[in-house]
Amino acid sequence: MIGHGFMGAAHSQGWRVAPRFFDLPLDPTMALLVGRDASAAAAAAERWGWQESADDWRAVIERDDIDLIDIVTPGDSHAEIAIAALAAGKHVLCEKPLANTVEEAVAMADAAATAAERGIAAMVGFTYRRVPAVTYARDLVAEGRLGEIRQVRAAYLQDWLSDAEAPLTWRLDKDRAGSGALGDIGAHAVDMAQFITGLSLESVSGVMETLVAERPRMASSVGLSGTASSERGPVTVDDLALFTGRFESGALGSFEASRFATGRKNALRIEIAGSLGALSFDLEAMNELQFFDATAPAELQGFTRIIVTEPGHPYTGSWWPAGHMLGYEHGFSHQVKDLVDAIAGGTQPTPSFADGLQVQRVLDAVERSSDSGSAWTPVGS
């Protein structure tokens, strides 16, 4: 695993726990953790259960005893590491968004396609696809329970920047993060909408805004944010992105990505309306899926609150008895399970780098639309 911040902790949990709850066809070993600072990497390896640590990822991908590289660094190093790892014959799991630009994402998708010919797997970490309620929502749509999809409302709402004195983390630096709320959390909303509906966005009209242009520089990092120093610096990414999108089928969607949604901590919400029914999900109540069956007698109609923890629901049968609730970290175990299954079965895991590239094209079209005064902008391919 390369990197050891918040996502490093989450991925470590996935690698550590998945083999204990799922019967995996291969037995992953948490071999080595890489970080730029050797002593910080050693401490993280010790804490999260990796056998060794190192400070040079290039030397690591040359090692014969490493089969898979898990990239949990900021976006500015995804392309270089992933392309080198795939060329060295390693399977790759790469955090979202796939890259900081469409150009980088194209190069990564090309590298993955070439590597796939040699049986090498590449997957991008849109982990929320593997929250059981989200996977189940996708299943209901695929079974036709919603009929024709007509409208999607998706929002990813956080509030950790509402405080104008919250310091400048790497997530507020365009060179490192690529974009702000749009790429960091809007990417999840886009992927989730496309995943559940099975439909791709074809064009978008958007507006993006940096609401607080200057913040204290970081003294030290704590969680997503950190402590402030007395020096100030510019915020170079968007704080808030709003856009509408047209799907390939003609369905319309509205999207919000905000780190200024005061009171909303991690509300990834989606509501999908179809000719036969509707679905509603909120990550802040992640074990629940609301389903409306428009084919039921009118007198009985209403949103049903499904607790998605039954043994027959996706992934849940391997955990606790029904109703015993799963959390944020379980998606990372599900990601490991699906990736290891794909590698053992000789198939390509999803979401693929091509899927990650398509999301990147949507993000890029939103930025171009915002720059052009919200003109409708094709996503392209």
Each residue 2-31 as x (binds ligand SOE by CB under 6 A) or -, in order, gives: ----x-------------------------
Least Å from the CB of residue 364 to ligand SOE: 18
The verdict on 239 binding ligand SOE (CB under 6 A) reads no
The least distance separating ligand SOE from the CB of residue 44, rounded to whole angstroms, comes to: 17
**Closer residue to ligand SOE in complex, CB, 133/278:** 133
Q: Does 335 bind ligand SOE (CB under 6 A)?
A: no
Residue 184 in the binding site for ligand SOE (CB under 6 A): yes
**C-beta of 7 vs 251, nearer to ligand SOE:** 7
User: What are 199's two structure tokens?
Assistant: 């439909």
From the list 26-34, 183-191, 286-294, 344-352, the region that binds ligand SOE by CB under 6 A is: 183-191
Q: Which residue is nearest to ligand SOE (CB)?
A: 184
Told to check if 185 binds ligand SOE by CB under 6 A, we report yes
Among 181-189, 194-202, 297-305, 363-371, the segment contacting ligand SOE (CB under 6 A)? 181-189
Give yes or no for residue 316 binding ligand SOE (CB under 6 A).
no
Rounded least distance, CB 194 to ligand SOE, Å:
16
255 to 274, contacts with ligand SOE by CB under 6 A? 266
Is residue 158 at the binding interface for ligand SOE, with CB under 6 A as the rule?
yes
Q: Which residues bind ligand SOE (CB under 6 A)?
A: 6, 158, 184-185, 188, 224, 266
